[in-house]
Amino acid sequence: MSFTLAIVGRPNVGKSTLFNRLVGKRLALVDDQPGVTRDLREGEARLGDLRFIVIDSAGLEEATDESLQGRMRRLTERAVEMADACLFLVDARAGILPSDEVFADILRRKNAHVILAANKSEGKAGESGYLEAFSLGLGEPIRLSGEHGEGMGELMDVLRPIS
Ligand code: GDP
Ligand code: MG
């Protein structure tokens, strides 16, 4: 595999849906390290002629003593450390929320290679959220719809230089 891509972002932006589209049934084995790794799913992604490892944050639904915010932060930092680049998803239909800013700050502080994507961009409902995403200061977002498979060509174009 040529590189590792972490899909990051707050809950419900569509990370797992996109992960499943990229990976299909090719789930990779994850080392059973205590703590964090069991909450990160790894898979072998295929996108056109590109092959890479993709990481999704899973297990956030389980109740623990740790706050969701703390857990997301810890998982995101770990995913960033494992990856060559991060695909930072925001929900173009919901617009930019304060928790999106929290994730943007984590990625900036970690000096991650960030690809910003306005997900759920199918149709017209995502247009204003797409424009809001510029305010994160992470460059020009790409428009994606993980559920409908839109924007995959553009995603390929931005990933190809990393591969
Ligand atoms: P995660 O919490 O970031 O992993 O998000 P999920 O992948 O579980 O998706 C959260 C919700 O958003 C689900 O109801 C999905 O069906 C929906 N969703 C995911 N991708 C898209 C998309 O591209 N467009 C729309 N409209 N909904 C989506
Ligand atoms: Mg998920």
Identify the pLDDT of residue 59: 55
Determine whether the shortest distance from the Cβ of 145 to ligand 1 is under 6 A. Answer: yes
Q: Which residues are annotated as a binding site?
A: 9-16, 56-60, 119-122
Per-residue pLDDT tens listing for the chain (163 residues): 689 999 999 989 999 999 999 998 766 544 444 444 557 888 999 999 999 999 998 655 555 677 777 888 888 999 999 999 999 999 999 999 999 999 999 999 999 999 999 999 999 999 999 999 999 999 999 999 999 999 999 999 999 999 8
Test site for ligand 1: of 17, 22, 154, most ligand atoms within 8 A of the Cβ: 17
Tell me how crowded residue 22 is: count the other CB atoms within 10 A of its CB.
23
End-to-end CA separation in angstroms for the chain: 9
C-alpha distances out from residue 8 to 49, 85, 147, Å: 23, 10, 16
Identify the pLDDT of residue 53: 95
Identify the pLDDT of residue 20: 92
Nearest CA to ligand 1 atom 10: 12
ipTM of the complex: 0.99
Test site for ligand 1: of 7, 12, 86, 130, most ligand atoms within 8 A of the Cβ: 12
Identify the pLDDT of residue 34: 46
Determine whether the shortest distance from the Cβ of 121 to ligand 1 is under 6 A. Answer: no
pTM above 0.90, yes or no: yes
